[in-house]
Amino acid sequence: MCRLLGLSSAPERTRATFWLLDAPDSLDEQSHRNPDGAGLGVFDPDGRPEVFRQPIAAWEDRQFAAQARCRTSTTFVAHVRHASTGRLAPENTHPFHQDGRIFAHNGVIEGLDRLEEQLGSARELVAGDTDSERFFALITREIANADGDVGRGIEVAVRWVAANLPVYSINLVLATPRELWALRYPETNTLFLLRRAAGGHHDRRPLDHVDATGTTRLRSADLAAVPSVVVASEPMDEHPGWRALCSGELVRVAPGRVTTTRIVLPDPPALPLTLVDLKPDAAASQRACQPSVA
């Protein structure tokens, strides 16, 4: 299954190591289970997005491993891909970047012909075949229509998708150099949030997270001294502060760990999909995503 991970330490720049190579259940093991690509998105000191992604298993990609060890940023977006839509190619590998923002998605949206019609000229933002990149283009267009209001743009875009297209899940993480946004919808796949004080639950400890399946790892010694917010497909350690986002909940993390949240999609999708409705590849990519926590 695809895995999402977002991290914000804004306004501080921190170093975070993703998919730790020397851990027992590390890059090598994780990417055998999620073989269709891996990606990491960060922002340079001038706020420009930098995305490192390959359409191969992460264990085969030494460049990705090197970047995962050394990058610093105020916000991070990471993704391991199990393909549901689109061939294995760099342009279909998450995360994506458009208009200075970085985005990753876990789920399935159908009715792509209608989505492309809705995009209009924003179709020029799309380089690949995925539902995810088209969904991102719709969000980007609506942010522009909302004069740069990211929250409003996300809300308008996801409301249109939920009302007009067959939807299995549209969980997302979107980052700017200063903000991190996350949405869970509907309840199909889980998405969790942790507001972490400097040093974590036990104080003075670096961040060292791994999810229950060993699919995603994250380590940052810098976060022993800096507060942060983590968004992940599953809780990644024993910290008691992890909480599941509600269906339709949109979260904004601003600099200084200021977190606001609201329900932007109170109703279920107009055209809900289940696993039995999906094509075999899409169903395989989502089967392991069934929520363990509502």
Q: Which CATH number fits domain 3-289: 3.40.50.300, 3.30.470.10, 3.40.50.970, 3.60.20.10?
A: 3.60.20.10
d(CA 175, CA 150): 10
Please state the length of the chain.
Answer: 294
Q: What percent of the chain is modeled with pLDDT above 90?
A: 51
**In which band, very low, low, confident or very high, does the pLDDT at 285 lie, cut at 50, 70 and 90?**
low
Contact predicate 81/54, CB 8 Å: no
Q: Looking at residues 208-215, what average pLDDT do you find?
A: 66
Which residues, in sequence order, are bridge partners of residue 218? 18, 209
Q: Above 80 in pLDDT, residue 225?
A: yes
Q: Looking at residues 177-185, what average pLDDT do you find?
A: 97
Domain boundaries, the chain: 3-289
Q: Above 60 in pLDDT, residue 183?
A: yes
Q: Looking at residues 242-246, what average pLDDT do you find?
A: 95
Instruction: Look up residue 206 and give its DSSP letter.
Output: P
What is the torsional sign of CA 145, 150, 151, 154?
A: positive
d(CA 231, CA 191): 7
Quickly tell me which residue has 């999708």 as its tokens: 269
| Of residues 216 and 12, more confidently modeled | 12
- Lowest average pLDDT, out of 32-36, 158-162, 216-220, goes to 32-36
Q: What is the pLDDT of residue 68?
A: 62
d(CA 33, CA 197): 32
Structure confidence by residue, pLDDT tens digits, 91-132: 677 699 999 999 999 889 999 999 999 999 999 999 888 899
